[in-house]
Amino acid sequence: MEHPGAEAPEVQAHARHGVAVAVLVWAVTAAAVVATVVATKHWWLPPVASTQGMAIDRLFLVVFSIISVVFVLVHLLLGFTAMRFRQTSAAQRAAHWHENRRLEAGWTIATAGILIVLTIFGGSLWLQVHGSPPSGAMTVEVVAQQFGWQFHYPGPDGVLAPVDLTRDSFRSPLGIQRAERGAADDVITNELHLVVNRPVRLLIRSKDVIHSFYVPHFRFKQDAVPGRVTQVWFTPTRTGTYPIACAELCGVGHFVMASTLKVETPDQFEAWMASPGTR
Amino acid sequence: MAVIEQEARTAHEVAHRESFWRRYVFSLDHKVIGIQYLVTSFVMALVGGLLAMLMRLELGWPGSSWPLLGRILPQGFPNGIMNQGFYLSLVTMHGTIMIFYVMSTALTGGFGNFLIPLQIGARDMAFPLLNMLSYWLFPVASAVLLAAFFVPGGAPISGWTAYAPLSATPLAGPGEGLGQTLWLVSLAILIVAFLFGSLNYITTVLQLRTRGMSMMRLPLSTWALFITAILSLLSFPVLLAAAIMLLFDRHAGTTFFLPAGAVIGGKTITAGGGDPLLWQHLFWFLGHPEVYILVLPAMGIVSEVISNNARKPVFGYPVMVLTISAIAFLSFLVWGHHMFVSGMHPMLGTAFMTTTLIIAVPSAIKTFNWLATLWGGKLRFTPAMLFAIGFVSLFVTGGLTGLLLGQPAFNMYVHDTYFVVAHFHFVMASAALFGMFAGLYHWFPKMFGRMLDERLGRWHFWLALPATFGTFFPMHFAGLAGMMRRIYSPQMYGYLSGLSGVNAFVSVSAFVMFVAHMLFVVNVVWSLAKGKRAEANPWQATSLEWTTSSPPPHGNWGERQPVVYRWAYDYSLPGSDRDFVPQTVPAEVAAPAAVQGGQ
């Protein structure tokens, strides 16, 4: 029994498999790490283009770093236990301890500490994102329906005419009655145009089922729920053309419910607003 | 039907005889009912798995033509190309089947029924007739659910979450007619089955424990199943109520979830008072505990398997019990983290973020406890142990991304993307599946009196773990790059075009994973016929089920029920000559103090 070579085949098998398991766990971990490194170059968050998005990316990096370290450490440890404590001889005996108050208190407090910090960071950013919009913000109404988006601008008078989606038709888009006060100059479009560095307040609504207004480059998403108007705001920081997607399953055409967001300079924006195609 | 022959042989030894139907079909025996639950769940798993394979076919190679499938499924693949409605019905049915009709039923229905009476030293469940009814509602519910594929319009397209108003009116899309109604009716039937089961488990654990089996001597698998039953009993009725309300909205003209002024399919909703968010609150009030209904039993099983194969007492038993209970309690307070971007008040988001991050503490403690149980052990790498180790890896991987998703501001970016799909497929789907396999490899000998083939079991694991990572890990990248879930094709969006390689890789890994799990089916069939006969206690385990024969006779024990003298984890007790001391060994024997000078 003293010589490793003399062990029963069963014990030898466990000794072999312990090494194999450790190698497998480490290999999977290494593959995950390598894949993630490669992913940061090819399949990562698209370039950010809003102030809120930048703050969200910073939060992501902090939390992502913490969980990456924990992921690697736990897996290294898991592989190590398999290797180190595998059965290698029939005479081997496992330890019997099963309590260690100090150790247990230690890891509980450490975990709780990290989570308290994350809660404070995360909570304050969330409230900041959902705070009231700055006074100079422009307002655009976003209306979702199966399977497209419409954007409603108040026009030069700054008054957003009331929409009535039950009267939405080709002749009166969004059911806006042109005779009503402030309605004559309202603009309804299929593309969203915004002004760079100018905060925008969105009023999001849906005509039929739930949709979700998703702008990946702004790290922004908000459900459009029929029967309610949701107010959110953000500030675009880079001119360019960005995709808008529907992120909530809304029916067979869900996957084609796309639109475009153009962030422009004030001059470009005014020119677009004034162009006959937009009016 | 080797199962039946095997059972029949043992049953001969039991005094009273019952007809074939009474014994194997409409059985009152908890062991048979447990096995019935497992077998039915496996049939459903095969269906749910195949649906996932079809989804991966589309996602890996969007819009491709598959002439053979066009011939087999002309409705779903007109001209060989999958149609969009069919894709969404696959999404819906895969999720529904896997969560409710596979994992819930196998883990609580299967293991709950089989293990609880055996581990507490009872002869059967408290209410055997209720138990039989509970099982028989399951195939009925399954048949009603699958029927949705064959009705006009096909299966529902609203996802397993069935968000109203998409699910509330037939006008919202194909599959939202009779298909969605069948879905709701089926779920209602299944919930009744869960409630019958839960009542039974709770009563049995509280009332039928044998002499000496105090609560703090229960094996952790029974603890987990007991807490899970309480969780089910308190959360499933809420979904039942919601499902009935939705049926009323659909068929009786009520508008619980339909807001006035919505125009769906050209029809205007006139009656007021409804709110689509009400459905989400009710759904997730069950939906989140449901995650733990799946993962808690798996955790219990894994604790058991790790301790047994490490030949070492489970580390921190009282804390393990406490954390199971804490997770169960907290799981009622976190549902709003599914609704950060739903339009719910932002302040609620902060509250739900806090509870969500708190629940990470007991989850982390459990992981540390498993590692501490392994530390200093004498590890045996049986297939059960391999899957238990796999569980820890998958649970940690998925749990960690929960910390990102629990941040509402970041959640705004990845909500409803593949990042979420990756997260829950690790933490609850794959982890629970691995926990279930750990349990199946561990208790199969007890269930059927045959050993599963170890070599095939190891192959199963060796293929399944890398394939699981290969399938779900890259989904994180797709999600971070902004790929929405539940889309038929990402080709509409230029910014997602770089993901085609990733999506194809995921699909190939998923196919490998499917094949890997099929090895288990092969193993079961082969072992039932040709497997080595199992002795009473093949793993040298301590808990009560291993003190009776494999499989146990009707009534579980001979003349007298076992008496318990110690907890379930006396492995490698100093002074004892063997490295395990069963719960039935009196305290004075093999107790460290008593044997010091003796033996």
What confidence tens digit (pLDDT) does each residue in B270-326 have?
Answer: 888 899 999 999 999 999 999 999 999 999 999 999 999 999 999 999 999 999 999
For B288-306, b/e burial (b = at least 16 CB within 10 A) is bbbbbbbbbbbbbbbbbbb
Interchain CB contact of B400 with A (< 8 Å): yes
With H, G, I as helix, E, B as strand and everything else as coil, classify residue A212: strand
In this prediction, residue B540 has a pLDDT band, given cuts at 50, 70 and 90, of very high
Closest CB to A230 among B264, B343, B569: B343
Which site among B416, B419, B461 would you substitute to test the A interface, given the most A Cβ atoms closer than 10 Å to its Cβ?
Answer: B416
Residue numbers of chain A with a pLDDT score lower than 50: 1-2, 4
Cα of first residue to Cα of last residue in chain A, in angstroms, is: 92
Give the chain B residue whose CA is nearest to the CA of A246.
B484
Q: Which residues pair with A204 in a beta bridge?
A: A142, A230
Mean pLDDT for all residues in chain B: 94
Higher local confidence (pLDDT), B519 or A169: B519
Cα of first residue to Cα of last residue in chain B, in angstroms, is: 49
DSSP state of A100: -
Residue B329: both structure tokens together: 């309690």
Give the gap in angstroms from C-alpha B365 to the nearest C-alpha of chain A. Answer: 6
What letter represents residue B77's amino acid?
F
3-state helix, strand, coil in chain B (%, to 5): 70, 0, 30
Give the chain A residue whose CA is nearest to the CA of B374.
A81
Whether the per-residue pLDDT at B2 is higher than 60: the answer is no
ipTM: 0.96
Residues in chain A: 279
Which site among B216, B387, B401, B407 would you substitute to test the A interface, given the most A Cβ atoms closer than 10 Å to its Cβ?
Answer: B407
What is the Cα–Cα distance from A278 to B2, expressed in whole angstroms? 74
* A215 Cβ contact list (under 8 Å, min separation 6): A50, A221, A242, A243, A244, A245, A261
DSSP state of A219: T
How many Cβ atoms are within 10 Å of A128's Cβ, its own excluded? Answer: 11
How many Cβ atoms are within 10 Å of B265's Cβ, its own excluded? Answer: 14
Q: Give the ranges where B83-177 is alpha helix by DSSP (H).
A: 84-96, 113-120, 128-147
Whether the per-residue pLDDT at B541 is higher than 60: the answer is yes
**Residue whose entry in the numeric block shows the structure tokens 């922004």:** A220
- Which of A193, A203, A190, A188 lies closest to A261, judged by CA? A193
CA angle B398, B400, B403 (to 5 degrees): 120
CA angle B153, B493, A279 (to 5 degrees): 95
Q: Which residues pair with A233 in a beta bridge?
A: A201
In this prediction, residue B590 has a pLDDT band, given cuts at 50, 70 and 90, of low
Sheet holding A230-234, edge to edge: A187-189, A148-153, A138-145, A200-206, A230-234
Cα A66 from chain centroid (whole Å): 18
What is the Cα–Cα distance from B125 to B114, expressed in whole angstroms? 10
Q: Is B569:B313 a contact under the CB 8 Å cutoff? A: yes
In this prediction, residue B20 has a pLDDT band, given cuts at 50, 70 and 90, of confident
Cis peptide bond upstream of B111, omega within 30: no
Interchain CB contact of B489 with A (< 8 Å): yes
* Percent of chain B with pLDDT strictly greater than 70: 95
Q: Do A35 and B474 touch (CB under 8 A)?
A: yes
What is the Cα–Cα distance from A10 to A90, expressed in whole angstroms? 9
In this prediction, residue B10 has a pLDDT band, given cuts at 50, 70 and 90, of very low
pLDDT for residue B17: 66
DSSP state of B25: I
Whether the per-residue pLDDT at B3 is higher than 90: the answer is no
Q: For chain B, positions 329-388, list CB contacts with chain A under 8 A.
A: 341-343, 346-347, 349-350, 353-354, 357-358, 360-361, 364-365, 367-368, 371-381, 386
What average pLDDT does the segment B505-519 reach? 98
Mean pLDDT for all residues in chain A: 94
In this prediction, residue B13 has a pLDDT band, given cuts at 50, 70 and 90, of very low
Which site among B393, B421, B483, B579 would you substitute to test the A interface, given the most A Cβ atoms closer than 10 Å to its Cβ?
Answer: B393
Q: Is A138:A234 a contact under the CB 8 Å cutoff? A: no
Q: Do A96 and B574 touch (CB under 8 A)?
A: yes
With H, G, I as helix, E, B as strand and everything else as coil, classify residue B66: coil
Q: Do B413 and A206 touch (CB under 8 A)?
A: no
For B549-581, b/e burial (b = at least 16 CB within 10 A) is bbbbbbbbbeeebbebbbbbbbbbbebbeebbb
Q: Is B253:A155 a contact under the CB 8 Å cutoff? A: no
Query: Over A122-158, what HEC string results?
Result: HHHHHHHHCCCCCCCCEEEEEEEECCEEEEEECCCCC
List Cα–Cα distances, B86 to B93, B176, B181, B251, B329, in angstroms: 10, 12, 17, 24, 38
* A30 Cβ contact list (under 8 Å, min separation 6): none
What is the Cα–Cα distance from B202 to B370, expressed in whole angstroms? 26
What letter represents residue B533's amino acid?
R
For B176-212, b/e burial (b = at least 16 CB within 10 A) is bbbbbbbbbbbbbbbbbbbbbbbbbbbebbeebbbeb
In this prediction, residue B588 has a pLDDT band, given cuts at 50, 70 and 90, of confident
CA angle B489, B491, B495 (to 5 degrees): 120
* A259 Cβ contact list (under 8 Å, min separation 6): A148, A149, A190, A191, A192, A243, A244
What average pLDDT does the segment B196-214 reach? 97
What is the Cα–Cα distance from B174 to B28, expressed in whole angstroms? 42
Torsion of CA B187, B190, B195, B196, to 10 degrees: 160
What is the Cα–Cα distance from A139 to B64, expressed in whole angstroms? 43
With H, G, I as helix, E, B as strand and everything else as coil, classify residue A49: coil
Find chain B residues with C-beta within 8 A of A165's C-beta.
261-263
Give the gap in angstroms from C-alpha A58 to the nearest C-alpha of chain B. Answer: 10
What letter represents residue B44's amino acid?
M
What average pLDDT does the segment B571-582 reach? 92
Residues in chain B: 599
* Percent of chain B with pLDDT strictly greater than 90: 91
Residue B343: both structure tokens together: 């339009």
DSSP state of B176: T
Find chain A residues with C-beta within 8 A of B377's C-beta.
81, 85, 94-95
Which site among B308, B339, B400, B542 would you substitute to test the A interface, given the most A Cβ atoms closer than 10 Å to its Cβ?
Answer: B400
Give the gap in angstroms from C-alpha A11 to the nearest C-alpha of chain B. Answer: 8
With H, G, I as helix, E, B as strand and everything else as coil, classify residue B417: strand
Closest CB to B316 among A60, A94, A99: A99
Q: Is A277 left (phi over 0), alpha (psi -120 to 50) or beta?
A: alpha
Q: Do A82 and B374 touch (CB under 8 A)?
A: yes
Query: Residue A215 is inside which H or E element, if any?
Result: strand A211-215
Q: Do B493 and A24 touch (CB under 8 A)?
A: no
- Which of A255, A221, A244 lies closest to B413, judged by CA? A221
- Which of B557, B558, B597, B544 lies closest to B575, judged by CA? B597
* pTM given for the model: 0.95
Handedness of CA A126, A127, A132, A134 (dihedral sign): negative
Closest CB to A255 among B354, B488, B494: B488
- Which of B521, B556, B513 lies closest to B444, judged by CA? B521
What average pLDDT does the segment B476-498 reach? 96
With H, G, I as helix, E, B as strand and everything else as coil, classify residue B61: coil
Task: Write phi, then psi, for A152 (nearest 5 degrees).
Answer: -120, 115
Q: Do A130 and B349 touch (CB under 8 A)?
A: yes
What is the Cα–Cα distance from B57 to B34, expressed in whole angstroms? 34
pLDDT for residue B589: 63
Task: Write phi, then psi, for B253 (nearest 5 degrees).
Answer: 80, 10
What average pLDDT does the segment B556-571 reach? 94
Query: DSSP labels for A224-250?
Result: E-BT--EEEEE-B-S-EEEEEEE-S--
How many Cβ atoms are within 10 Å of A77's Cβ, its own excluded? Answer: 16
With H, G, I as helix, E, B as strand and everything else as coil, classify residue B6: helix
Q: For chain B, positions 45-74, list CB contacts with chain A under 8 A.
A: none
What is the Cα–Cα distance from B387 to B306, expressed in whole angstroms? 10
Taking CB atoms and an 8 Å cut-off, how many pairs form between chains A and B?
332
How many Cβ atoms are within 10 Å of A140's Cβ, its own excluded? Answer: 20
Torsion of CA B486, B490, B495, B499, to 10 degrees: 100
What average pLDDT does the segment B487-503 reach? 95
What is the Cα–Cα distance from A219 to A63, expressed in whole angstroms? 16
Query: Residue B378 is inside which H or E element, if any?
Result: none
Q: Which residues pair with B571 in a beta bridge?
A: B580
